[in-house]
A and B are shown apart, each in its own frame.
Chain A
Amino acid sequence: MAGKKRKTPQLDQLEKGAWPSFVKEIKTSAEKNPMADDLLGQLERSYEDRIGHWKHGGIVGVLGYGGGVIGRYSDLPEEFPNVSHFHTLRINQPAGWFYTSDVLRKLCDIWEKHGSGLTNMHGSTGDLVFLGTRTEELEPIFQELTELGFDLGGSGSDVRTPSCCCGKARCEWACYDTMALTYFLTMHYQDELHRPAFPYKWKFKMSGCPNDCVASIARSDMSIIGTWRDDIQVDKAAVAEYAKSGMNIQRDVVDNCPAKCMAWDGKEIKIDNKSCVKCMHCINVMPKALAPGKDRGACILIGSKAPIIEGALLSSVLIPFIKLEPPYTELIELVDRIHEVWSENGKNRERIGEFIQRVGMGNFLEAIGVEPIPEMVAHPRENPYVFYEEFFEEESDGSDEQAPK
């Protein structure tokens, strides 16, 4: 604020070093925004006292919605009156995070007028995050946001704002249109997004290929990850070009293939595609020469979460391969069956992954009407595309017993 400058010796430490600093950003905002200024004050106090000075609030929101606003209050309102309320808003981002600079300016104008001016572009949920406003500002902000064509995102026990990698908009590896599916799911599940009716949160994250740029496998109740089921496309001339320009194909590509299904004879690369686990390694190293196959779709995995109530889980395979094209009927029917079973039987604050652990994958599959298959392995690191035919052949000409190895 003009005139007085806070002393923030503890926070100043966080400005040291070569990396960006949120302290620097808050200080810049504090020059014109009293909320940002009191935020600095309260944060400095938190470091002195070694304790957070925020209280969680539970009942703030906009009329009709059960998500999108996360209530926070200061427990030192006399000292820092401008952050006595400091609610966070989640705003549903456009699929793939594409904006025009004009819209970004308008979003910031709304936020500077009604809040702290501080944003997080973007939060780990995918949403555009506005940090810090008062209860009475919520409806005016919401009104201006909707006029600009934006809506609040999810929070609480609802469908969280779906998010995705940039997919076909910018990436040739996308095996399905992640942005189209994200938009579709966002619109299709508007009711579930704004009116929390589940045992706990439900996140969809869409990645176009197994590189999984939105870390869908670790962060979403339903991870929809692009893959292919035919052969990796090989451009022989481009492989030769890599070799000529000095790439050590044996060491850096073939020897690193986790499935050990590649061979290099100094001239040609050979891939045993039925053993390939679609890890993307070879394609990432030789993007000009190799590409995912042409028969593309996605693998649907279920159950990942961060450690909140119980430990972290990664998603495991539910549907090894599905073609994902509008109107996505098969996917929607599957999701609705899962939601129904989980809503009916899930405990309060039980994520789908924990629910499956509690009731058992077998019972869960039966309840949602999906046949168990070998690809549904317990651990994602054992890749969904391991097939056991070889193993069975060996066994079958001996006895029926499972000989321990």
Chain B
Amino acid sequence: MAEQATVEEVSEAMFKMIRDSMGQKKWKATDLTKAVTELFGERCDKTLAKSAIRELIESGKCVYTYFGGSFIEIPHKEGAEN
């Protein structure tokens, strides 16, 4: 059995995915979970992915947004704001 990845490793990987696809793709929590469980294989399960999302949000590196459904994004000034 491979050793579990750390929360930091997984959240860092999530952050990169979000950053590298900014403007092209919006990520939902489930998309991120699927992507990291694929990337890390048996080193990352859903519970770990959940902790990683929590870390992303609570560190302020990402925020939840709402555009019809809920997404996870890097904070930016909002288009609708004046």
Interface residues of chain A, those whose CB is within 8 Å of chain B, are 55-61, 63-67, 70-71, 73-74, 77, 84-85, 135, 155-158, 195-200, 343-344, 348-349
* Residue contact B66 to A195, C-beta cutoff 8 Å: no
Complex alpha-carbon distance, A195 and B73, angstroms:
13
Given contacts A63-B58, A196-B29, A199-B30, contact A84 B82 (CB under 8 A): yes
Q: Per a CB cutoff under 8 Å, which of B29, B53, B69, B76 touches A59? A: B76
* Residue contact B69 to A66, C-beta cutoff 8 Å: no
Given contacts A155-B66, A195-B57, A197-B50, contact A58 B78 (CB under 8 A): yes
B38-82 contacts to A, CB under 8 A, are 50, 53-54, 57-58, 60, 63-73, 75-76, 78, 80-82
What are 17 A-B residue pairs whose CB atoms fall within 8 Å in the complex?
A55-B80, A57-B81, A58-B67, A59-B75, A61-B63, A63-B58, A63-B60, A64-B58, A66-B64, A67-B70, A197-B33, A197-B53, A199-B28, A343-B30, A348-B69, A349-B68, A349-B69
- Of B28, B60, B67, B70, chain A has the most CB atoms within 10 Å of the CB of B70
Chain A residues near B78: list those with CB within 8 A.
Answer: 57-60, 71
Chain B residues near A58: list those with CB within 8 A.
Answer: 65-67, 71, 78, 80
* Residue contact B64 to A196, C-beta cutoff 8 Å: yes
Complex alpha-carbon distance, A96 and B58, angstroms:
32
Knowing that A59-B78, A66-B72, A197-B28 touch, tell me 10 more A-B residue pairs with CB under 8 angstroms. Answer: A59-B73, A63-B60, A64-B58, A66-B64, A67-B64, A73-B81, A73-B82, A196-B70, A200-B69, A344-B30
- Of B54, B57, B71, B80, chain A has the most CB atoms within 10 Å of the CB of B80
* Residue contact A66 to B57, C-beta cutoff 8 Å: yes
* B2-34 interface bits toward A, Cβ cutoff 8 Å, 1 = contact, 0 = none: 000000000000000000000000001110010
* Residue contact A77 to B69, C-beta cutoff 8 Å: no
Chain A residues near B66: list those with CB within 8 A.
Answer: 58-59, 66, 70-71, 155-156
Chain A residues near B63: list those with CB within 8 A.
Answer: 59, 61
Chain A residues near B53: list those with CB within 8 A.
Answer: 195, 197
Chain B residues near A65: list those with CB within 8 A.
Answer: 64
Complex alpha-carbon distance, A84 and B78, angstroms:
13
Q: Which residue of A lies closest to B32 (CB)?
A: A197
Chain B residues near A348: list those with CB within 8 A.
Answer: 28, 68-69
State how many angstroms separate the Cβ of B77 from the closest Cβ of chain A. 9
Given contacts A197-B50, A348-B69, contact A85 B57 (CB under 8 A): no
State how many angstroms separate the Cβ of B18 from the closest Cβ of chain A. 14
Chain B residues near A344: list those with CB within 8 A.
Answer: 30
Chain B residues near A158: list those with CB within 8 A.
Answer: 70
Complex alpha-carbon distance, A101 and B73, angstroms:
40
* Residue contact B69 to A197, C-beta cutoff 8 Å: no
Complex alpha-carbon distance, A399 and B75, angstroms:
69
* Residue contact A156 to B64, C-beta cutoff 8 Å: yes
Complex alpha-carbon distance, A322 and B29, angstroms:
32
* Residue contact B69 to A156, C-beta cutoff 8 Å: yes
Complex alpha-carbon distance, A85 and B81, angstroms:
8
* Residue contact A57 to B80, C-beta cutoff 8 Å: yes
* Residue contact B67 to A135, C-beta cutoff 8 Å: no
* Residue contact B64 to A61, C-beta cutoff 8 Å: yes
Chain A residues near B81: list those with CB within 8 A.
Answer: 57, 73, 85, 135
Chain B residues near A57: list those with CB within 8 A.
Answer: 78, 80-81
Complex alpha-carbon distance, A63 and B80, angstroms:
20
- Of A58, A85, A198, chain B has the most CB atoms within 10 Å of the CB of A58
